[in-house]
Chains A and B, each alone.
Chain A
Amino acid sequence: MKDKREIAQELYNTLQLTDNALQDSQTAHLYVNHNMVVGSHLLPGLTADVEETENGISMLFRVQAGRRIARPVHLCFGMLPAKGLQEIRLRVEIEEEAHVDVLAHCTFPNAVDIIHRMEADIVIAENAQYSYTERHVHCPSGGIQVVPHARVHIKEGARFRTDFELIKGRVGSIEIDYESTCEARSVLEMNARINGTGSDLIKIRETGHLIGDSARGVLTSRIALRDQARAEVYNKLTASAPFAVGHVDCKEIVQDQGVAIAVPIVEVSHPKAHVTHEAAIGSVDDRQLETLMSRGLSEDEAVELIIKGLLK
């Protein structure tokens, strides 16, 4: 049987990174394979209380008040087997004035039939900053269902940013549901970049409530679809306080028999709040395509470059 270190290394290798994060003493990390912590290294000011459950883990992740964690913390949730269920319960507490960036990887390189669920409660205290980048590494055949749900509370002056990327491998089915409440002068920024192919099904539901004076929120999604892939994006911003400002921005390139639905909802209930939205869905822009072709790129090469740009 493989020991934990070997499993952690195997998960790491699927990520195709070159930073040697597992060996770097300045980089905190926590690696979970199914329901077992296979690697963990924490730094002063950072705690992770983990309980292994039947199909995953339950964790309280906390950054102490005023602490600034210099390098991104590596979290890795993975399953090396082909089948199974992984359930992650996460409570995140970023205390007053603390700063942390988390780079979370979800890796299912051999998935045939895997369900990955995450239920998260996130509290970002006054003037704290939390940035969460989630990258997925899936296998090319896409036998996976990813269901991340989170409730986020962003207190006064705090910032929360998420970047969700699924660019390599097949999506399978993904259902993102985030709901954030933003207090005075807080900032919410959510970005999703997803490349759907085959029979992929992508559902994104992001909601931000700008309830505090001068709270700001931007929800951005960039999606490329081909084959029979389908995407539904429901992004909603509500603003109920003076000088709350928000923007919802969704751009999708659809090819083949792909189907895209974008429903931006903005709800403003204060005369001094301002929320805008923008959605553009269509095939590749002719002018862009023709420009690249006039430089000698084939149509396929030009499309590839344009989509790469959209997802960058």
Chain B
Amino acid sequence: MSILRLEGIRLVLGEKPILNNLSMEFWEGHVHAIVGPNGAGKSTLASTLMGLKGYRDFEGDILLDDESIKTLSIDERARKGISLGWQEPARFEGISVRDFLRASSGNKPLKELNEVLAQVGLDPEEYLNRSVDKTLSGGERKRIELASLLVMQPRVVLLDEPDSGIDIEALERIFDALRILKSRGSTIILITHSLAVLKQAEHAFLMCHGEIVDKGVVDKISGYFENKCIPCAHKNIPGSEV
């Protein structure tokens, strides 16, 4: 069953169309990937789905459970079950990991905060009282971002480049965390330009210049990486002739 549907999304930033007539469908409880080169519009799509400032004025519609969420604010969308793990997560002066996780969880008990930290491979003893600020490395901050989504358990989780800044060892923990999210029923949308991340998904969309140029099972879309194609408006993408 589809949980989230985009219908003909067209978004212009400045003078430039960044999302161009995007129609997509995401299936409940499945892991989806959106892949494409830098600048394709992937993060813009995530911002539009979350309803961030500057990304609210677009043509087309976004439907969650067949109802439009186009006019809802960020927190209203979050309370309906959509959340976002940011490509470059925000830093907060003076807010501890504990406070951040607790706020994300709707005040769940400490035990659950410890649990999600362990699930992303961070020792709660060491991290709970640290600030979510500049003193965390990029990879640590990314993992805390994922932990905050694990504890929140949204119905639809958007993850923008979940592997950026993550070393190979920690990457396995990130993938474990994805499996936990999925096992609890979350629908996952991975935004990535990495083959390893793409392989965690079941279905994928290939995006280029703000358009979906191909979609299908992961094996089909991963051909894009193997052929090192340079996507362009001509759509000379493996499989796109189908």
A residues contacting B by CB (< 8 A) are 251, 285-288, 290-299, 301-302, 305-306, 308-312
Contacts and interface: CB of A to CB of B under 8 A. Distances in A.
B86 A298 contact: no
Contact of B53 (A286, A306, A311): A286
A291 B75 contact: no
Nearest to B89: A291
- Interface hub of A285, A286, A293, A305 (most chain B Cβ within 10 A): A293
Contact of B148 (A295, A298, A309): A295
B84 A309 contact: no
Nearest to B53: A286
A306 B74 contact: no
Nearest to B91: A288
A309 B75 contact: no
B152 interface: yes
B78 interface: yes
8 contacts: A251-B93, A288-B92, A290-B53, A291-B89, A293-B73, A294-B75, A296-B104, A298-B75
B103 A292 contact: yes
B152 A295 contact: yes
A310 B75 contact: no
B94 A296 contact: no
Contact of B75 (A286, A296, A308, A311): A296
B79 interface: yes
What are the 3 tightest A-B residue pairs by CB atom distance, in nearest-first order? A309-B94, A312-B94, A309-B95
Given A293-B74, A298-B75, A308-B95, 15 more contacts: A288-B90, A290-B50, A292-B103, A294-B74, A294-B75, A294-B77, A294-B78, A295-B78, A295-B83, A295-B148, A296-B78, A296-B104, A309-B92, A309-B131, A312-B95
Nearest to A305: B103
Contacts of A251: 93
Contact of A299 (B75, B79, B93): B75
Nearest to A292: B103
B74 A290 contact: yes
Given A294-B74, A294-B78, A294-B83, A285 B106 contact: no
- Interface hub of A290, A301, A310 (most chain B Cβ within 10 A): A290
Contacts of B90: 285, 287-288, 290-291
Interface residues of B, number: 26
Interface of B: 50, 52-53, 73-75, 77-79, 83-84, 86, 89-95, 99, 103-104, 106, 131, 148, 152
A296 B106 contact: yes
Contacts of B77: 294
- Interface hub of A290, A294, A297 (most chain B Cβ within 10 A): A294
A251 B78 CA distance: 30
A294 B50 contact: yes
B198 to A, nearest CB: 24
A40 to B, nearest CB: 36
Nearest to B74: A293
A290 B52 contact: yes
A310 B91 CA distance: 12
B93 A309 contact: yes
Contacts of A306: 92, 95
B74 to A, nearest CB: 4
A310 B94 contact: yes
A292 B84 CA distance: 10
A296 B92 contact: no
B53 A296 contact: no
B125 to A, nearest CB: 21
A294 B131 CA distance: 19
A102 B99 CA distance: 29
Contacts of B106: 296
Contacts of A312: 94-95
A285 B133 CA distance: 14
A306 B86 CA distance: 18
A247 to B, nearest CB: 15
Nearest to A288: B90
A308 B92 CA distance: 11
Contacts of B93: 251, 309-310
Nearest to A306: B92
A302 B103 CA distance: 9
B52 A295 contact: no
Contacts of A286: 53
Contacts of A310: 93-94
A288 B133 CA distance: 11
Nearest to B105: A295
A112 to B, nearest CB: 33
